[in-house]
Structure 1
Amino acid sequence: MHEVWHLRNVIYSSIVRCHFKSIGKGGRFCYPLILNGGKNILIGDKFSLRERGRIEAIDLYQGVNYTPSIIIGDNVAMGNDVHIGVIGQLKIGNNVLVGSHIFISDHSHGKLNKTDIKKVAIERRLYSKGNIIIEDNVWIGEGCVILPNVKIGQNSVIGANTVVTKDVPRNSIVVGNPGRVIRQIE
C-alpha cells in the first residue's frame, strides 16, 4: 500500500510543478494540494509538502488586485495541513522545518473597525499589516500560527501551538500565545 501512495505522490508532484513560477529540483507534493496564484510562487530545491497543503498567493479578491510573492528557499519541509495565504510578501529561507497544522498569513478579512466587522467576512476586502520573513534554519513546531508583519530570525525554534505576533530575534526559542522568547540558543 505504501508503494501505491508513494507512486501517486511522485506522479502528482510532476503534474503540480508546472503551476509554479519556478520550482527547484526534488520538489515533492502530496495529494491533495490547493494552489492559488502559483505564478507568484518561487520554490527552491528539495521542497516537500505533505497532505492537504494549501498555498495561496492571492492576486485578485472581491475585485481588488494584489501583488503577492511567495519565495521559499532550499531544503524546506512542511507537514500536513499547512495553510499559507499571502497578498503581500512571504519569504522563507533555507533549511526550514514547518510542522503540521500550521497557518501562515499576512492578511485578514477587513480591518478591525465597526464598519468592517458588520460585513460578512467573505465580503470584506483583504487587509495586510505587513510582510512575513522566516530566515534560515528555523523550526516551526506543530499547530503554530504566524501572523502579519513578523520576522523570525535565523536559527530559531517556534514551539508547538505558538502564535507569533511580533518579531523573533535570531537564535531564540519562542512559545505561547502570544509567543514570547523563553531562551536564547547558544
Structure 2
Amino acid sequence: MWRYYIKICRKLHYFVIRAAPRLRAILVRSILGVNATAIGEKTKFRGLEFIHLGHNFRIGDFCWIEAITEYADQHYSPKLSIGNDVCVSDLTHISCLEYIEIGDGCLLGSKIYIGDHSHGPTHNLNSDDLSTYPSRRPLANPSAIHIGAGCWLGDGVVILGGTRLAAGCIVGANSVVRLICDRPAVVAGVPATIIRYLD
C-alpha cells in the first residue's frame, strides 16, 4: 500500500515541478503581458515597458532581466529587445541602460551577464572616482550590444557594451566578450578573440 502512495507522490511531484514554469508564465502573461512560455523560480523583470520579448520566450530560475530607467537620480530610456524562440538558462542577468538586442533563436547558458554600461567611468579615473563606492557612482559608458539570431552563449559568459555578434556565433564558456564579429564564428577567451570562422 505504501509503495502505491509513494509512486503517486513521485508522479505528482514530477508534474508540479514540470508544470510550475508554465503556470508562472501563464500568470505573468495575464497580469503583466510578458510573452513567455516558461518562467523559472525567483526570476524578476524590471522596466517591463522598455523590454520587448518575442514569442516562445523561456527563462530559467533566479534570473534578472532589467531595463534601467532610474539610477542615482539619473533617468534613462533603455531599449531591450529579445527575439522569438530565445531560451535563457538559470542565474542569468541582463542589464540594459541604452540598447541591447538578442536575436531570434538564441540559446543562453547559465550564469551569464550581459550589460551595456559600467558603474562609473573606466577611463581617466581620478581620486574622487576611486574614493566613491562603485554602487554610488553614476552609470557610465553606455554602448549598444547586438547579438545576432541563432547565437549560442556558453555558461559563465560575460558580454560587455560595444559587442556585436553576427548571426550563428558560438561563444565559449567563461569568455569575456567585447568585440565586433561580422561573420559567424567561434569566439572564446579572456578577453575573447575570434578562434575560427564558421562560414
Alignment TM-score, normalising by the size of structure 2: 0.87
Aligned to 1:104: 114
Q: Deviations over 1:134-181 (max 9, x none)?
A: 011111111100000111111110011111011123211011000011
The one-letter amino acid paired with 2:168 is N
Considering only aligned residues, what root-mean-square deviation do their CA atoms show, in Å? 1.4
Query: Could you say which structure has the larger radius of gyration?
Result: 2
Structure 2 matches for 1:1-186, cutoff 5 A?
1-17=13-29, 18-19=31-32, 23=35, 27-112=37-122, 113-114=125-126, 115-186=128-199
Q: How many angstroms apart in 2 are the aligned matches of 1:62 and 1:130?
A: 19
SS in 1 for 2:80: strand
Q: Deviations over 1:44-75 (max 9, x none)?
A: 11111111110010101111000111111111
Q: How many angstroms apart in 2 are the aligned matches of 1:35 and 1:97?
A: 19
Alignment TM-score, normalising by the size of structure 1: 0.93
Aligned sequence identity (%): 29
Q: How many angstroms apart in 1 are the aligned matches of 2:53 and 2:148?
A: 15
Aligned to 2:9: none
How many residue pairs get aligned? The number is 183
SS in 2 for 1:27: strand
Aligned to 2:7: none
The one-letter amino acid paired with 1:81 is L
Pairwise CA distance, 1:43: 0.6
Q: How many angstroms apart in 1 are the aligned matches of 2:16 and 2:81?
A: 31
Q: Deviations over 1:84-123 (max 9, x none)?
A: 0111011111111111110000011110212322201111
More helix by share: 2
Pairwise CA distance, 1:128: 2.9
Q: How many angstroms apart in 1 are the aligned matches of 2:142 and 2:74?
A: 17
SS in 1 for 2:16: helix
SS in 2 for 1:174: strand
Q: How many angstroms apart in 2 are the aligned matches of 1:101 and 1:2?
A: 25
Q: How many angstroms apart in 2 are the aligned matches of 1:176 and 1:121?
A: 26
